[in-house]
Structure 1
Amino acid sequence: MAGDEVSVAVNGGTVMGRHQPASAAHPKALDVFYGMPYATVERFQPAVMVPPPRSGTLRAVEPGPSQPFPMAPHDTAESPLRLNIFRPCTCSSAPRPPSPGGGGGDGSGSGRKGRLLPVLVYIHGGGFNFGHPLERDLAALVAWAPVDVLVVSVGYRLGALGFLTEGGGERNLGLRDQRTALEWVREWVRGFGGDGGDVTLMGVSAGAHSIGHHILSPSPLPFRKSILESGSPTARSVLAAAHPRPTAQLASLNSHARGKPLASLPVDDLLDASLMVWADNMASVCWPFQPVVDGGPGGGGIIPDAPLKLWDDAARSGRMRDQAVITGFCSHEGTSFVPQRAATNAAFLSFFKTLIPSLAPADLAALERLYPDPVTHPSSPYANPPQSRSRYGAQFTRLHEAYAHYAYICPVLHTAHSLSCAGATVYLYEYAALAPPFFAASHGDQAAVVAHDMALLRGKPGLADVAGAMNARWTRFTASADGTLDEALWPRFVSPFDGRGQPNGRLLVFGDGNDEAAGGLGKGTPVKTRTLTEREMEQCRFWWDRMELSQGMGVRSSL
């Protein structure tokens, strides 16, 4: 065995991984197992779980191909589905990283022989069309954690391969792949030193949406703890397969594929056709190949009904009381998605009418009042900052703020509210550190900070303090048996929306006033507590009252 390799005995065979010595970027020595198959797949068919080899040696020392997606910068393959494992090295008592954030947890790290580690399963983002399980420096997340955790990152089918709405086959195959991956982890992670009975799910964006759907599923997965970064099961839209939008997008895919059978189309041709459909819908943010309501008259499905209905069902069942969740948002979630040159009120209204076709004239009038036009209302808070007025249309700030509330912030708060009212343990956050290109805290900006990725943090001492505070809380939550943290470390969120006369609405804000990543000198405040404002609650009530227009067939309930 090479000196930089490590082996584990699993299922009668041997898996060879890579030993990664401690370094300035990764202060704990690690063992990493890359690209291990967890299932085989045939196109448009459910995955079939595969165990580790019963004999011989599986080499897992280099990243394997990811699932195919357009313009992937690395090798891809439809089968098998793969996962990666990152764990602290079992070989020595390596030096501990500093422990910013303090409090809670047992602080133990090395010398853990015989003790199974809590497991964090990471589901990547990418709009259900792009991305891969090594999108973040998960080795850094493990290496900087003040408590030892084992991280598994999983691949799943994307785009048309994972979320085709064509009849005849099972839908939401990408979500089903994630469930198969968790089954594999529960059965086999013990061989790598992980506790399959102590699993936390973590995801960003589409990964967080996915976890939300798994939380709501009437056939729940065996986990109690989850971390949803900028995502929710009610985020953006979750339409029925028969809704006109996915129906038209499927027709467009078939057209770009020149009518050839999708099941046998060469994968590169399918990706090219899928990318054309994506491009057709990118400006409107009406993205194709998304999870859909997949229940039928006989029930079943991963998302058997509209998520709002599933929230009601889950709350009545009482099973949400056992859940513990970290969830939160970035301050400016919408900057990367909306048209940057929109200049008129008509363009603002047209964007939302295209996005949510069932908005009535009264809804659009209420939307205008809630987000006053900065062109005609000099006191509107949605005027572009002076330094950016020459680069963006007059409606840009108004658009990205309203879209952020519709697509991400208010769905996140809906999840926090629903779980809080159901008796779950909820910790809420806002990520506020500013970064390029928008000089904002944009969608996904927290990812490298939570991971404590030194490629971003080097030379930014204030942001490194933010990273220490976030990494410590994320991993201590994972290591907590029941998902509870010391009140001094993170006050529990109690919904102020429920009208029970017990206002709380407390959340942590990470990185307020920090602009180092944007080229500034402001270190800001690593972490502080604030309370949701009346303005935030007014905005979310507006979007919550219209959330059903982006679910199922997109019609308003008669109830």
Structure 2
Amino acid sequence: MQILSLLLVASVIAAPTLKQQNIVAPVLATFTNDCVGLVANKTPNADVGPPVKTTNTSLPTATLAAGVNVTGFKIPGYEVFLGIPYTQPPTGNLRFRRPVPKNYTSNLLAIIPRPACLQAPRLNQRFTYGVSGFSEDCLFLNVLAPEGSAGSDASLPVMGDGLTFLSPYLVRRAADTGRPIIPVTINYRLGILGFGMGRDMAENDGANLGLRDQLMALQWVKENIASFGGDPAKVTVFGQSAGAISIAQHYLNESMDLFRGAILMSGQASSTAMAPTFAIWEEPYNLTAIAAGCMAPNTTLQADLTTFECLRAVPPETIMNATAVMRRDPRFALPFVFSPSIDNDLIPDRPWMLLKDGRFAKIPYIAGDTRDEGTWITPTAIHSTDEIKFLLEHFAPLGQDPAIVQRIFDKYPNIPKMGSPFGTGNETFGLSPVFKQGSAMVGDLAFHSRRRKFLRRSNDYGNNQTWTYEFRGPTPNLAPHFGIPHSADVPYVFGVAVPENNYTAEAEVLGQQMMDYWINFADHLNPNPRNGQYDPATPYWPPHGAGKESIRLDLANLTVVPDTFREDQMAMFDEADVAAALLFKRNQV
């Protein structure tokens, strides 16, 4: 069975029906939790609760490589194992430290949903430890195995943290069509605890810990998935938003061997600012430390502790609330402050430079974006050119050459019919036309141009097992200024874009087509059927190559088109001088 390792860190998703909620536990997360809110309905957070009820008295058991047994429970068609620890708890002296493998000393009862990793509260809210389904002791994983998994199934390790769910419909469709997958959902550290920046973090090896958690989880899958019916040689990682960005970071390791394929939905290695660990984000770190009482002028810092030691010692809720205070500064309000960074180890250089030089893994993948990625990020209150420049600073924190900035604005003028949401003419939806201008810039800068660069560099360096798409399916009950926004494709892939959730019958069909493409890829590293027998409604999806082939996923039809839209505009972000300004000069890292 294929292992579809879902690095699925979705920021928004339509809510499942009650029946769906009873089948599978929530599993996903974001680098921070303030991304949630575009789709009309969100999945509730997963509070820790009592053991999941089951009427089946025959409890499944798997034996881990360490020799201990893990006992789960059954629901119709599945064997479920919840809350398996894969590291030592990252608490106390292990806060801000690399993950330590779990030392199993006794058998495990895996029937209780475990808490999500700590995330800062929304702006102007406070975090209360222990009552909101979050914990610093959070490095657990869950396994959902179809009954009868025989050791050859593909595995789906999902790296997530309780803000959404893995729909059983994707898993059931795979099993019913003879292409079974085993999802493994994985929590990893988030925010400052998982992606700390600042000089202190660099000097104390505290950067990119969330990525290291993911690697340890994938290693756990490699060592143990056979006990659950999976094949450790058939792991496909699958991520959206921050999950896709995480996967793309792992591609920067040329010798990556923990997965054989990937599906990246809306995210690439340089979708976030990719700041070096020190210097660039020093101020957010300092503001967080001050709010936590660990740096002057806040006088609560103990005299015998350094700032870093103090942050390791304070209660977890203090760190979370301090992060929320820091994010009240409008410069750091967007959820990209604590994210992957250049650490000269896992990420040795600017992604742009690594791709240019071919220093990345040549592993097959699907990569795609929604049509209007930027509307999710751009504030609706934006109304001036200066505010757009301020927004771009989140993706270019070193500052920008004024001449280059002007060239970008020349390519993305304040003309509503050229803005995002695209294809909406001169409509401004009651907002300033600057919103559409800024949305077009940000969407192309952070998503479309980065995906396009990865695809073309992959082909340049001999990886021709690459497929790409642009998603155009609608989301019901969504304000029209969002268009087809970031995360709009997630409900379709999870099989919940259905009439019961206010989607149309045509949307349900599109979701089924997308699930088939995704399942095919997990099964045999190609979104097309293994036997070459194509359903006319689900046409052949050619790999991206010299013709820049892409598939447009729309309700009306699935159309193969060249991935060349806004080619001249997006070329701005790939020119050497623009890349140097928007990313980083080597001597500044």
TM-score by length of 2: 0.76
**Of residues 325, 330, 334 in structure 2, which corresponds to 1:276?**
325
Structure 1 residues 80 and 556: alpha-carbon distance in aligned structure 2, compared to 1, 3 A threshold = closer
C-alpha distance after superposition, 1:442-494 (max 9, x if no partner): 11111121011267764521111111011111111101167876686543333
Larger CA deviation: 380-389 vs 271-280: 380-389
The higher relative CO (CA closer than 8 Å, separation ≥ 6) is in 2
Matched with 2:12 is none
Matched, 1:76 2:107: no
SS at match of 1:39: coil
Question: Identical aligned pairs, as a percentage?
Answer: 22
Structure 1 residues 193 and 383: alpha-carbon distance in aligned structure 2, compared to 1, 3 A threshold = closer
Matched with 1:494 is 544
Matched, 1:480 2:527: no
Note if contact 2:375-2:421 (Cα within 8 Å) is conserved in structure 1.
Answer: no
Matched with 1:248 is 283
Aligned-residue RMSD, C-alpha: 2.9
1:66-465 matched pairs, under 5 angstroms? 66-71=116-121, 74-90=132-148, 114-124=150-160, 132=161, 135-145=164-174, 146=177, 147-165=179-197, 166=201, 167-244=203-280, 246-259=281-294, 260=301, 261-281=310-330, 285=334, 287-295=336-344, 301-315=345-359, 320=362, 323-352=363-392, 355-356=395-396, 357-374=398-415, 380=418, 385=424, 389=428, 391-424=430-463, 425-435=465-475, 436-438=478-480, 439-453=482-496, 458=501, 460-465=504-509
Larger CA deviation: 79-88 vs 380-389: 380-389
SS at match of 1:430: strand
* CA apart distance, 1:79: 2.4
Supply the distance in 2 between the matched residues of 1:456 and 1:308 (Cα, whole angstroms). 42
Structure 1 residues 49 and 314: alpha-carbon distance in aligned structure 2, compared to 1, 3 A threshold = farther
C-alpha distance after superposition, 1:138-182 (max 9, x if no partner): 423212223211111111100111111222234211100000000
Note if contact 1:371-1:402 (Cα within 8 Å) is conserved in structure 2.
Answer: yes
Note if contact 1:86-1:139 (Cα within 8 Å) is conserved in structure 2.
Answer: no
C-alpha distance after superposition, 1:81-104 (max 9, x if no partner): 1111112122xxxxxxxxxxxxxx
Supply the distance in 2 between the matched residues of 1:86 and 1:383 (Cα, whole angstroms). 38
TM-score by length of 1: 0.80
Supply the distance in 2 between the matched residues of 1:405 and 1:342 (Cα, whole angstroms). 18
Note if contact 2:469-2:550 (Cα within 8 Å) is conserved in structure 1.
Answer: yes
Matched with 1:96 is none
* CA apart distance, 1:355: 4.8
Note if contact 1:157-1:177 (Cα within 8 Å) is conserved in structure 2.
Answer: yes
C-alpha distance after superposition, 1:51-96 (max 9, x if no partner): 6x5644x222231112111248842222251111112122xxxxxx
Structure 1 residues 288 and 483: alpha-carbon distance in aligned structure 2, compared to 1, 3 A threshold = same
Matched with 1:127 is none
Aligned length: 486
* CA apart distance, 1:326: 0.5
Matched with 1:109 is none
Matched, 1:20 2:20: no
Letter in 2 for 1:326: I
Letter in 1 for 2:453: H
SS at match of 1:150: strand
Letter in 2 for 1:136: F
* CA apart distance, 1:268: 0.6
Note if contact 1:234-1:547 (Cα within 8 Å) is conserved in structure 2.
Answer: no
